Structure 1
Amino acid sequence: MAELVYPPVIATARAWFKALDLRFDMEGTEHVPRRGGAVLVSNHISYLDFIFSGLAALPAKRLVRFMAKDSVFRHRVSGPLMRAMKHIPVDRSKGEGAYSHALDSLRSGEIIGVFPEATISRSFTLKDFKSGAARLAQEAGVPLVPMALWGTQRLWTKGRKRDFGRNHFPVTIRVGEPMEAGAEEPVTRLTSRLRERVQEMLEAAQRAYPAVPKDDNDKWWLPAHMGGTAPTPAEAQSM
């Protein structure tokens, strides 16, 4: 079936990013499979992460179907768009339907996007991973593709006002080599390996990030362990 909505939405997003004068530093896009199913797994620090994650799949000419909370699908603007782009709504009180939907999509050759932290990290550090991404990959017999995002929190994140001005923000996107999800490996161990890989990539992205805070008031987007004023993981959890 022809994709009537997804390509125009991508084109609109790219034009918007150009208008914002965002600077992209993207590496590893060759690791996105050009055919067949895969689970794309990323850290989560911004409301816009699904857009940036999806951009990484474009060089492979792939469209990613993201799993997202069902409230996004009930919104009068985003809902019709999300459904038309074949993203997958997740009702956290009963996730079996979303899991089955994602599994069927993987088996039919789609790339499914998952944020295994399940919510935005206010501390901008990596939270614990839910096991769903690993279980999907194992059951569908497809690889896991790890990804790390950095800088996206400066645009729009939890507890902060949106900043859509022309601030020349750098956005770092890293895609790692696919990880095989063998059925014989315990899912907890696979999830742990996956998290470790994303952690390594995130730390590398943070070290290479070309921007620094302008002043003390601009340190909010840096994690506490990097000298920033973001909440510590413990503080973020209590929030």
Structure 2
Amino acid sequence: MTKTVKLVFSLDVLVYPLLFVLSLWLVFWVEVRFGVNFNRYGIYPLHAEGLIGILTGPFIHSGLEHLFNNSVPLLVLSMGLFYFYRSIRWRVVILGVLLTGLMTWLIGRPAMHIGASGVVYMLTSFLFFKGAFSRHYRLMAIALIVVFLYGGFIWYLFPIDPKISWEGHISGFAVGLVLALLLRPKKPPVARYAWESPNYNPDDDEFMQQFDDDGNFIGDLPKEEQAEEEPIKIIYRFRSRKDDL
């Protein structure tokens, strides 16, 4: 019986996060190339003119080191979000950015708060808490990976450096936790095995044809693929919108 493995590549899992990160670098390049400073478009707490920074602040950085330190985790974490939480990813991004910026505007010190670190903390918090609450092994695994990679971020939730917007960090962390509690994605499909079925009968050829030699359910495969005696097949395809969870 043929074993068929489907490797599904979702292009948007890479494209959208990469575009977001590249937009940060584009803004920084414009500042350097034309000698302009966009810091005035950051979040200035409790001032009406500072509200624009909720939308523009994440794109503005104070220097190359600041930009690089935010770019790598932003790319990694947003790819994790887009892959594992397809059904709610845009709600997490939009609500996360807006609420993080608004909370920073409400609790921040009277200074310009710039950079995407608040968004990074929001994604870190969401992926960790959502995975921990899910009780699904794949989502719990990504939560543990987040802790392993970015657990050190916890120290910057406190005012240990006056040059760092810890208010933006704690805002993102709190918003990520709230979104993890409130937003409910579609559950990942659970593997089905022959012996888990109430109709399990190893002597029933028609029933057993729905499963491969290891007991994995393959009932949705064409009959001719199930019957062929061939090496393992690997099917490559790009994910379309209808495949999203």
TM-score normalised by L of structure 2: 0.29
TM-score normalised by L of structure 1: 0.29
- Larger radius of gyration between Structure 1 and Structure 2: 2
Between structures 1 and 2, the one with greater strand share: 1
Between structures 1 and 2, the one with greater helix share: 2
